[in-house]
Amino acid sequence: MHDISAIVHAQHVLNAGYQCLVLDAPAIASMAQPGQFVHLRITGLEPAALRRPFSIYRASDSQLSILYKTVGRGTEQLSRLRPGDTLTAMGPLGNGFPLETHDRWPVLVAGGYGVAPLSFLARRLNRQGMLLVGGRTAADILCTEEFTALGWDVRVATMDGSQGTHGLVTTLLDAWLARPGHPAATFYACGPDGMLRAVAERAQLAGSPAWLSLDKHMVCGVGACLACVQRLRKPDGTTWIARVCRDGPIFEAGEIVWEHPR
């Protein structure tokens, strides 16, 4: 783990409101694994502003990228940074997705820009699989051509029907699971809490492992402050409180004790 000055290499505008920031940060990029994140101190915010965590979208020996949506003053300021500007980056942080699929078919489930760490994962898995991706509208569907280029089966759902199936991404998942004779799967998911929980429930019914990337508001990023905690269940039935930033952000669905039982 490093806390270094990183140089903005490029800012790419993707769909409306979404951007890709490319950083020259070799110390972090060369160690990064899919599912890990970086904690950025955004230059130009007031000095007391907290850091912002971002999933790693891409990493090479020298550069790493994040994919983000402009949603608040942190990401607004981030979007103003130009090539040559510097910011402070801590990482790679967190545990990352397990890359061993145990002869199961990888099924990736993404909500909106939750596709970013799954795109990185698809590049590092040793086999092709399927991406199910959902968004509010067609503009929220990102990166699908990358999966197609890697030979992945890509299926899209939008809430307004402007691209792919009309409905939630779980509509796609249910349709696939209902098909007789579908192969044994390992699920990997990143997106809103409701989507993660829906994937967890379906994976449990199917007897499949599901690796979920949890998104909780973080402060320190290293497990010190206890702002981003999640209760987990051990195999013996006892529970403990994990730190999403340090012990996660990737957890197996069966471990998670959801806050409001259904």
Partner 1 sequence: MNTPPPAAAAARPDLAVTIAGIQMQNPVTVASGTFGYGKEYAHLVDLRQLGAITVKGIRLQPWDGNPLPRHVEVPGGMVNAIGLQGPGVAGFIRDYLPFLREVGVPVLVNIWGTSVEEYAEVAERLSDVEGIAGLEVNISCPNVKEGGASFGADPRTVAALVAAVRRRTRLPLIPKLAPNVPNIRPYAQAAAEAGADALSLINTIPAMVINIETRRPVLANKVGGLSGPAIHPVAVKLVWDAAQAVKIPIIAMGGITGPEQAIEFLIAGASAVAVGTATFIDPGTVLRVIAGIEDYLVRHQIQRVRDLTGSLLTT
Query: Closer to partner 1 at the Cβ: 10 or 241?
Result: 241
- Kindly state the smallest distance separating residue 128's Cβ from partner 1, in Å: 36
Contacts (Cβ under 8 Å, ≥6 apart) of 83: 8, 9, 10, 11
Q: Is 204 helix (H, G, I), strand (E, B) or coil?
A: helix
- Kindly state the smallest distance separating residue 59's Cβ from partner 1, in Å: 19
The CA–CA distances, whole Å, from 162 to 153, 155, 165 equal: 20, 13, 8
Query: Closer to partner 1 at the Cβ: 38 or 108?
Result: 38
- Kindly state the smallest distance separating residue 2's Cβ from partner 1, in Å: 8
- Kindly state the smallest distance separating residue 150's Cβ from partner 1, in Å: 34
Rounded Cα gap, residues 142 and 69, in angstroms: 11
Whether cis (ω within 30° of 0) applies to the bond prior to 249 is yes
Query: Closer to partner 1 at the Cβ: 52 or 58?
Result: 52
Query: Closer to partner 1 at the Cβ: 4 or 175?
Result: 4
Q: Are 148 and 172 in contact (CB under 8 A)?
A: no
- Kindly state the smallest distance separating residue 26's Cβ from partner 1, in Å: 18
By the criterion CB under 8 A, which residues form the site for partner 1? Answer: 1, 3, 41, 46-51, 88, 90, 216-217, 219-220, 222-229, 241, 246, 259
Query: Closer to partner 1 at the Cβ: 38 or 90?
Result: 90
